[in-house]
Chains A and B, each alone.
Chain A
Amino acid sequence: MEAIANAGHPGAETHAGKRSWLFTRPTAKTGIVSWLTTVDHKRIGMLYGISALFFFLVGGFEALLIRIQLAVPNNTFISHQTYNEMFTMHATTMVFLAVMPLSAAFFNYIMPLQIGARDVAFPRLNGFAFWVFIVGAIVINIGWFVKSGSPDAGWFGYAPLTSKAYSDQFAGDMSTDLWVMGLQILGVSSVVGSLNFIVTIINLRAPGMTMMRLPVFTWMTLITAFLIILSFPAITIALVELMMDRSFNTNFFEAANGGLPILWSHLFWIFGHPEVYILILPAMGIISEILPTFSRKPLFGYPIIVFSGACIGFLGFGVWSHHMFTTGMGSVATAAFSLMTMAIAVPTGVKIFNWIGTLWGGQLRMSTPMMFALGFVWMFMFGGFSGIMHAAAPADSQQHNSYFVVAHFHYVLIGGSVFALLAGIHYWFPLIFGRKVSEFWGKLSFWLIFVGFNVTFFPMHFLGLNGMPRRTAVYDGNMGWSDANLVSTVGAFILGVGIAVYFTVMIRTYFKGEKVGRDPWDARTLEWSLPTPPPEHNYDVIPTIHARDAFWYEKTHKDEIAKETAEHAKSETAHGGIHMPSQSWFPLLAASGLLIGAILFVNHLFLWAIIGGGIMVLGIYFWASEGPGGYHVHLEKHDDHGDGRH
């Protein structure tokens, strides 16, 4: 790595001449500075992944506290207030700090590799998106360490419970302000990151990588990114209005002054339902990569899978009020949203049919990623069926806000999203770290997670049908809910053990796992053509794409590809060699301004908060002033290092 780094960096080959110290680009390739200033999409992907997994464990811990409290009726393990903070933070953490960033980790690491690019379109912006995500995560979690406590108004924050009149009766409560501010900041991160992914996918595809040859995971990245930039404005509007209500006494949602709480519900769910697809589409993308690889045949009906993904994205904006069937919208509106919601089941079902079609006639290797992927198909199917039950508005009027809904969305979000993400970690682990997880321990963790998950959430269908509302800290023993709750808590601990085994095995594998070379799964997409782990510049020569499963084609047309690569290598050298982006401090500086500003703002020090804004503007100004930077890597000169990279 050193060898390559020194090849063109810093001095001679940077684009600009001598710069002042302020604009001298950092060049560290190891150590803390290299991570703080990184613009490498693979490193940013790893940072996302590690942060997301940390918050995944935090959210899981919160879930276990919830399950302990509900294990027996009339329990006093935690107070009502603490319970309310737990379910608010569990959901907020899992949605915004665990599943979304874990998807972002894969977008960052895998997507540029799949399209044959050397980085994303805006490498510094990518770093900025990550640091802003960390800022948002910190702001949301400050509540655990301050007197006013953590946010407690639910992850959906229905007005007017979030207004000062109900969350701030006596003391300077800032938990809701933290939630409002944290979500806005996370929104910035998501939108910035998504724009970057869209530009990357549209502009940085390798020659021959037409849209209909994109790997499905990259397609789902693209669709998810569009969903994010189109849906986050809705919640941003709602959050800004709420912030104005709380800080400057406006009346958007203040019921006592004529504000309209129902307006919040609509704005929230116009964001909130596409958000559901933001969580599940990347998962569907991962599954659509794993099933063909381990069935050793192409994805069945690629165009229909892609089209149905896009179709889900479009329809996803027209079904938000199915979260509001009980708000008295009137018969026509209820009927319209009911039918739209049923319609969205069709493209979703189509995907399941196509995944089964992919297995059909294949040669299935039951490795751990495949186990998680098949687990996904089964569990997602269950979640889909209970989803159809909710789509029928009259049935939903009984199930809404009951444990039936809790069961449904955990089948979709754990059985769906999380299973797929865990599958993805297993699948791409050898590529990222050059080591492979042991099949025995991998499968053991799969079965613990699978069994624990079902024991936890299947009984919740019965709890919901038996009338147990969600978000309730206690229940009476005479309601017929005691048995199912106890079973569910036992399941939660099995699930917890499964997750613990999963991560212990991952950490052990990172240090001591079996080393593997290139393409250990006999895979089909381009990222597997790289050495494990991939070098910083990804591709020695930008590949040319001839077919949908690009790497599978390469493997079956070796001579042709070798000849073509040699020619392209020559022409790339003629153009100056491999061009890489320079590192920068300023994304981090700009994000830190956001953190300072946010903390001052939630303490209602509005004028001081401008300082934070100033730091952010300064960071962005320096970022613009330091210029694009960049340097070239020349591989030929260093072949004698014999590090096996090329």
Chain B
Amino acid sequence: MPLFFGGWLNWLTGPQSTIDVAGPVAESQRHVFYVTVWVTGIIFVLVASVLTYATLKYKARNDSDEQTPTPPQGHGNPFIELGLIAASVLALVFIAIPTLRAIWYAYDVPAAEKTNALEVNATGYQWWFKFEYPSEQIDGVGPLTTANELVIPVGRAIRINLRANDVMHSFWVPKLAGKVDMIPNRGNHLWLKADAPGYFWGQCAEYCGESHAVMRFRLIALAQKDYAEWIIAQKAPARALTPPSDGALAKTQPAGYAFKNPGRNAPGYSSAFDTDPLAAWLKQQKPAANENPVLIAQGHDLFTAKSCVTCHVVRGNNMGGAPFAPDLTHIGSRTTIAAGLLENNSVNLHRWITRPNEVKPGNKMYLGINGMPGYMMMQDDKLVPHIVVSDEEAPAIVAYLQSLK
């Protein structure tokens, strides 16, 4: 029984709940939902009672009942019909009024908040999200760019411009706002606001191909001061550690973790993280205590040698990059990798860079994109390996990426 009563309430308080909301836009949408629940609920009780009563009262009890003379052959009553039509229209008016108000409210930032609003660009790719801050320009580079984790200040209206360059996607952080689609060759937008600091789960809500199910992201709402600090840190180029002497580089370094392949679709989350995700996020901003500079330097070189650099930007450290791949300048400061799929830790990073196709089948890093090869390449109509990151090489790249705070 608890499953069917108390249980159902627990079924509505998950990290992507549309009921347990945390911002005014989602609240306005929930309000409309509640109105519909009330109105249809009342109609249901009335109609269901009449239906139940009619079924029980006029039910034939036994065979002889069925043989009795036929009941009156009435064809209906126009006044009852018209009355019920009028009542239905009236009930719908109760829903229509809050609906219209919320449509206009949710469409764009209210005039009073426009001057203080923060504008962000979000672009959907198969299968990750790019976020740009046009108001935070970096000299000679362009707007501050990050991937899969959108950081916003609390209490400010955020207007998010939604774009897509490949197929349709949809931007959805249920606790903050209903979804709006990202459609190629069409400019969309939504706005949202977080009431208090928090760590929110989001997900692509428009089917976008093979790995649609694992196209996720996070939204982190920070107090004004924390947000300002984050912006400064993000605008800085990638963190560079003092390079060790050439002698040290040649030596094999301990990985610092043991890797065992957990297999495809294996969970990438942990309850330790979930108990206080915002605290985990804050902790992720600072360099780890046990960094190994030699391993990191090896990773830095491998990152170029394995041609990761062809697509991925690591501003300041590795020259290269392309706009259709996630910017990794500060990947070490993000709490997730592979588009919000796995917690950002050594084992998960190792899993992702050695076996990308098991983590996210069909991904472009693995298959290549725009005619460029990825881990695989086309040769004589066959896919053959192009880049291999072995389990021995991976720890260095993992250490390097994690150092990029």
Interface residues of A (CB under 8 A from B): 73-76, 79-81, 83-84, 152, 154, 158, 160-161, 165-166, 169-171, 255, 258-262, 295-302, 304, 326-328, 330-331, 334-335, 338-339, 342-343, 345-346, 349-350, 352-354, 356-357, 359-366, 374, 377-378, 381, 385, 388-389, 391-402, 459, 462-481, 483-484, 487
Expressed in whole angstroms, the Cα–Cα distance for A465 and B14 within the complex equals 9
17 A-B pairs with CB atoms under 8 Å apart are: A80-B213, A259-B185, A260-B186, A297-B73, A299-B76, A328-B189, A356-B54, A365-B60, A389-B37, A395-B30, A398-B30, A462-B8, A467-B14, A467-B16, A469-B203, A479-B14, A483-B11
* CB within 8 Å for A477 and B267 given contacts A397-B178, A465-B19, A472-B213: yes
**Contact between chains at A302 and B76 (CB < 8 Å):** yes
**Contact between chains at A394 and B32 (CB < 8 Å):** yes
Near A by CB (< 8 A), chain B positions 153-207 give: 162, 165-168, 170, 172, 174, 177-181, 183-189, 201, 203-207
Residue of B17, B32, B33, B265 with most chain A CB atoms under a 10 A cut-off: B265
A13 to chain B, nearest CB (A): 44
**Contact between chains at A74 and B267 (CB < 8 Å):** yes
Expressed in whole angstroms, the Cα–Cα distance for A399 and B188 within the complex equals 19
Residues of B within 8 A of A339 (CB): 96
B279 to chain A, nearest CB (A): 16
Expressed in whole angstroms, the Cα–Cα distance for A339 and B35 within the complex equals 15
B60 to chain A, nearest CB (A): 5
**Contact between chains at B11 and A363 (CB < 8 Å):** no
Expressed in whole angstroms, the Cα–Cα distance for A415 and B3 within the complex equals 24
Residue of A327, A378, A397, A479 with most chain B CB atoms under a 10 A cut-off: A397
Near A by CB (< 8 A), chain B positions 9-63 give: 10-19, 26, 28-30, 32-33, 35-37, 39-40, 43-44, 47-48, 50-51, 54-55, 58-60
Does B307 belong to the interface (CB within 8 Å)? no
Q: Which of B99-107, B226-234, B287-295 contacts A (4 or more CB under 8 A)?
A: B99-107
Determine which of B18, B98, B185, B203 lies in contact with A398 in the assembled complex, contact meaning CB atoms within 8 Å: B18
Determine which of A169, A392, A398, A480 lies in contact with B15 in the assembled complex, contact meaning CB atoms within 8 Å: A480
* CB within 8 Å for A477 and B269 given contacts A339-B96, A469-B172: yes
Expressed in whole angstroms, the Cα–Cα distance for A469 and B172 within the complex equals 10
Near A by CB (< 8 A), chain B positions 254-298 give: 263-269, 271, 274
Expressed in whole angstroms, the Cα–Cα distance for A381 and B7 within the complex equals 25
* CB within 8 Å for A466 and B271 given contacts A160-B184, A297-B71, A392-B95: no
**Contact between chains at A385 and B44 (CB < 8 Å):** yes
Residues of B within 8 A of A302 (CB): 75-76
**Contact between chains at A331 and B74 (CB < 8 Å):** no
Determine which of B19, B70, B92, B209 lies in contact with A296 in the assembled complex, contact meaning CB atoms within 8 Å: B70
B98 to chain A, nearest CB (A): 8
Determine which of B19, B71, B99 lies in contact with A362 in the assembled complex, contact meaning CB atoms within 8 Å: B71
* CB within 8 Å for A74 and B81 given contacts A328-B181, A385-B40, A394-B178: no
Does B383 belong to the interface (CB within 8 Å)? yes
Closest to B36 in A: A389
Closest to A295 in B: B58
Residues of A within 8 A of B33 (CB): 389, 392, 394-395, 398-399
Does B345 belong to the interface (CB within 8 Å)? no
Q: Which of B83-91, B136-144, B310-318, B322-330 contacts A (4 or more CB under 8 A)?
A: B83-91
**Contact between chains at B178 and A398 (CB < 8 Å):** yes
B327 to chain A, nearest CB (A): 22
Residues of B within 8 A of A261 (CB): 167-168, 183-186
Closest to A343 in B: B92
**Contact between chains at B15 and A478 (CB < 8 Å):** yes
**Contact between chains at B59 and A467 (CB < 8 Å):** no
Expressed in whole angstroms, the Cα–Cα distance for A326 and B37 within the complex equals 21
B371 to chain A, nearest CB (A): 10
* CB within 8 Å for A300 and B18 given contacts A79-B361, A161-B208: no
Expressed in whole angstroms, the Cα–Cα distance for A153 and B177 within the complex equals 27
**Contact between chains at B81 and A304 (CB < 8 Å):** yes
Expressed in whole angstroms, the Cα–Cα distance for A393 and B102 within the complex equals 8
Residues of A within 8 A of B37 (CB): 389
**Contact between chains at B89 and A300 (CB < 8 Å):** no
Does B397 belong to the interface (CB within 8 Å)? no
Residue of B37, B65, B92, B166 with most chain A CB atoms under a 10 A cut-off: B92
* CB within 8 Å for A166 and B75 given contacts A352-B47, A394-B99, A466-B11: no
Residues of B within 8 A of A469 (CB): 172, 203-205
**Contact between chains at A466 and B213 (CB < 8 Å):** no
Extra contacts, 5 of them, besides A338-B100, A354-B76, A478-B269 (Cβ < 8 A), are A171-B381, A335-B103, A397-B179, A465-B12, A480-B10
Residues of A within 8 A of B74 (CB): 297-298, 300, 361
Does B378 belong to the interface (CB within 8 Å)? yes
Does B247 belong to the interface (CB within 8 Å)? no
**Contact between chains at A363 and B58 (CB < 8 Å):** yes
* CB within 8 Å for A350 and B36 given contacts A331-B103, A356-B54: no
One digit per residue, 1 when the CB lies within 8 angstroms of any chain A CB and 0 when it does not, for chain B 65-80 equals 1101011111111101
Minimum-distance CB pairs A-B, first 7? A467-B16, A397-B178, A480-B14, A255-B184, A472-B213, A301-B76, A394-B102
Residues of A within 8 A of B212 (CB): 84, 471-473
Closest to A386 in B: B40
Near A by CB (< 8 A), chain B positions 215-259 give: none
A610 to chain B, nearest CB (A): 28
